[in-house]
């Protein structure tokens, strides 16, 4: 349908959204009947933390828009949030700094996303659970058996392949991380990688990578939803789970496994300093006059033009700020191997142009991921829940 014929185009889109809505309603009715009982009362918890009904309604509007859905979906987003604690989750840790869990759990001013994460039904999480040793191993085996095919496997951290995987062993039986990941992922409804380490290898895989660390997809050959970032934004995780609850399917992914709704545009496209970039107004030195004026940080090493993520749109810490706003610039933490490929972090990449070189920078951005889809295409409901591996 040519976009030129506006009213026809609008009608087609409206029809598609209505069909999507119908699918969503039917799916949610089914979900209500099949998922385990809710362990938490979301509204009670929100009240306890000082959040009002109005805050919740405001949050549903923001989340609906962030998920690239029209406002008619707001009640569905609210319902999915109320069911959030009913999805069983097994959360595995491999080679990483636990910064992802910490970032999600240590919020000083919790917003709805943080509270949703608190309600999540964690059947196994090494940092949070009280059990250890044999008991922990038994808990994991029990959760995988009891919720086979229904639980979401969340993975934090990369997997070392060196020494047959023995750089990372877990539990009293001394299983390698690779063995545990394969066992758990094979029984999960979906595998979500939290953070750039499990998504792409990241810091544990940085040059010279002595343990031969890689991301989960590469290590065990399953398809993963990659919530990239070091650490990632909680919104991108909660939004992906809400999408799964609403449609029974994972959202559409880019060619790096990242949800298009969250990683479909560049940092540079959402950036409030962008007019300064276009006017060739750059910070030349930390703390100089132009830094005080909030000019563009490209010359100080900002990798926003090469980095796909919604940080400038959803921000961190309840929407308070994000790296570029705080005056540092983006280091490209949602891109594969950013530690190596975005270096030097404090300088522009040597082979890229800036200030009037926008066309070049844009072309590089497009070439990096080849993303084309947006809007309704961000909801891959037809693709089914499971995304089979590399086969």
Give the footprint of ligand FSX on this chain (CB under 6 A): 96-100, 156-157, 195-197, 202-203, 230-231
3 state DSSP class of 110: coil
C-alpha dihedral, 11 to 261 to 303 to 223, nearest 10°: -130
204 vs 304 by CB, closer to ligand FSX: 204
Binding at 334: pick from ligand FSX, ligand F3S, ligand SF4, none (beta carbon under 5-8 Å per type)? ligand F3S
Long-range contacts at 127-134 (CB < 8 A, ≥ 24 apart):
127/93, 127/98, 127/101, 128/101, 133/171, 133/172, 134/171, 134/172
Contacts of 324 (CB under 8 A, 6+ apart): 267, 271, 272, 273, 297, 302, 304, 311, 312, 330
The crossing angle, in degrees rounded to 10, of helices 74-82 and 6-34 is: 20
**Ranges within 326-365 binding ligand SF4 (CB under 6 A):** 329-330
- Residue with structure tokens 């060739």? 280
The least distance separating ligand FSX from the CB of residue 322, rounded to whole angstroms, comes to: 15
Q: Give the Cα separation of 81 and 45 in Å (integer).
A: 12
- Residue with structure tokens 């595995």? 92
User: Is 267 near ligand SF4 (CB under 6 A)?
Assistant: yes
Residue facing ligand FSX at closest CB distance? 99
User: Is 307 near ligand F3S (CB under 6 A)?
Assistant: yes
3 state DSSP class of 215: coil
C-beta atoms surrounding 271 within 10 Å: 24
Contact 316, 322 (CB under 8 A): yes
Site size for ligand F3S, by CB under 6 A? Answer: 12
User: Is 217 near ligand SF4 (CB under 6 A)?
Assistant: no
The least distance separating ligand FSX from the CB of residue 387, rounded to whole angstroms, comes to: 21
331-370 mask for ligand F3S (x: CB under 6 A)? Answer: x-xx------------------------------------
User: Is 271 near ligand SF4 (CB under 6 A)?
Assistant: yes
Longest CA–CA separation in the chain, Å: 65
User: Is 236 near ligand F3S (CB under 6 A)?
Assistant: no
29 vs 351 by CB, closer to ligand SF4: 351
The least distance separating ligand FSX from the CB of residue 193, rounded to whole angstroms, comes to: 9
**Ranges within 310-329 binding ligand SF4 (CB under 6 A):** 324, 329
Residues in the chain: 391
User: Is 305 near ligand SF4 (CB under 6 A)?
Assistant: yes
20 vs 330 by CB, closer to ligand F3S: 330
82 vs 337 by CB, closer to ligand F3S: 337
**Ranges within 212-231 binding ligand F3S (CB under 6 A):** 229
250-289 mask for ligand F3S (x: CB under 6 A)? Answer: -----------------x----------------------
Q: Give the Cα separation of 176 and 233 in Å (integer).
A: 29
C-alpha dihedral, 329 to 98 to 92 to 32, nearest 10°: -70
The least distance separating ligand F3S from the CB of residue 324, rounded to whole angstroms, comes to: 6
The least distance separating ligand FSX from the CB of residue 186, rounded to whole angstroms, comes to: 22
The least distance separating ligand F3S from the CB of residue 122, rounded to whole angstroms, comes to: 24
User: Is 273 near ligand SF4 (CB under 6 A)?
Assistant: yes
Q: Give the Cα separation of 117 and 285 in Å (integer).
A: 39
The stretch near ligand F3S (CB under 6 A) out of 120-128, 329-337, 343-351, 375-383 is 329-337
Task: Kindly state the helix (H) or strand (E) to which residue 115 belongs, with its residue range.
Answer: helix 112-119
- Phi first, then psi, for residue 12 (nearest 5°) are -60, -45
The pair of three-digit structure tokens given for residue 174, joined into one six-digit string: 């001394």
Peptide bond into 147 cis (omega under 30): no
46 vs 158 by CB, closer to ligand FSX: 158
- Phi first, then psi, for residue 171 (nearest 5°) are 75, 170
User: Is 297 near ligand SF4 (CB under 6 A)?
Assistant: yes
User: Is 277 near ligand SF4 (CB under 6 A)?
Assistant: yes
Contact pick of 86, 161, 268, 379 for ligand SF4 (by CB under 6 A): 268
Contact footprint for ligand SF4 (CB under 6 A): 267-268, 271, 273-274, 277, 296-298, 302, 304-305, 324, 329-330
């Amino acid at each position: 349908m040519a976009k030129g014929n506006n009213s026809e185009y609008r009608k087609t889109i409206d029809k598609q959204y209505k069909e999507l809505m119908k699918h969503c309603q039917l799916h949610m009715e089914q979900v209500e009947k099949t998922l385990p009982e809710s362990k938490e009362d979301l509204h009670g918890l929100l009240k306890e933390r000082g959040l009002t009904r109005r805050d919740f309604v405001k949050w549903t509007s923001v989340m609906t828009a962030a998920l690239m859905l029209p406002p008619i979906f707001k009640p569905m987003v609210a319902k999915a949030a109320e069911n959030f604690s009913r999805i069983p989750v097994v959360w595995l840790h491999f080679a990483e700094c636990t910064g992802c869990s910490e970032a999600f759990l240590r919020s000083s001013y919790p917003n709805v996303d943080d509270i949703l994460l608190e309600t999540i039904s964690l059947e196994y999480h090494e940092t949070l659970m009280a059990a250890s040793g044999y008991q922990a191993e038994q808990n994991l085996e029990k959760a995988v058996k009891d919720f086979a095919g229904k639980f979401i496997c969340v993975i934090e951290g990369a997997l070392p392949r060196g020494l047959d995987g023995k750089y990372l062993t877990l539990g009293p039986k001394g299983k390698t991380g690779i063995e545990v990941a394969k066992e758990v992922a094979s029984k999960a409804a979906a595998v979500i990688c939290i953070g750039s380490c499990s998504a792409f290898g990241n810091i544990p895989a940085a040059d010279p990578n002595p343990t031969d660390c890689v991301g989960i997809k590469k290590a065990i050959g399953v398809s993963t939803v990659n919530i990239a970032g070091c650490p990632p934004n909680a919104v991108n995780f909660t939004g992906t789970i809400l999408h799964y609850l609403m449609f029974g399917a994972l959202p559409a992914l880019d060619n790096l496994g990242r949800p298009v709704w969250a990683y479909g545009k560049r940092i540079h496209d959402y950036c409030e300093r962008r007019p300064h970039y276009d006017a060739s107004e750059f910070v030349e030195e930390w703390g100089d006059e132009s830094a005080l004026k909030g000019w563009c940080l490209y010359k100080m090493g900002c990798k926003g033009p090469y980095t796909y993520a919604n940080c400038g749109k959803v921000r961190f810490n309840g929407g308070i700020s994000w790296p570029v706003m705080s005056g540092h610039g983006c280091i490209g933490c949602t891109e594969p191997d950013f530690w190596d490929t975005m270096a030097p972090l404090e300088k522009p990449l040597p082979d890229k142009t800036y200030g009037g070189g926008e066309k070049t920078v844009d072309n590089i951005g497009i070439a990096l991921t080849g993303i084309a889809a947006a809007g309704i295409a961000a909801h891959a409901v037809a693709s089914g829940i499971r995304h089979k591996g590399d086969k």
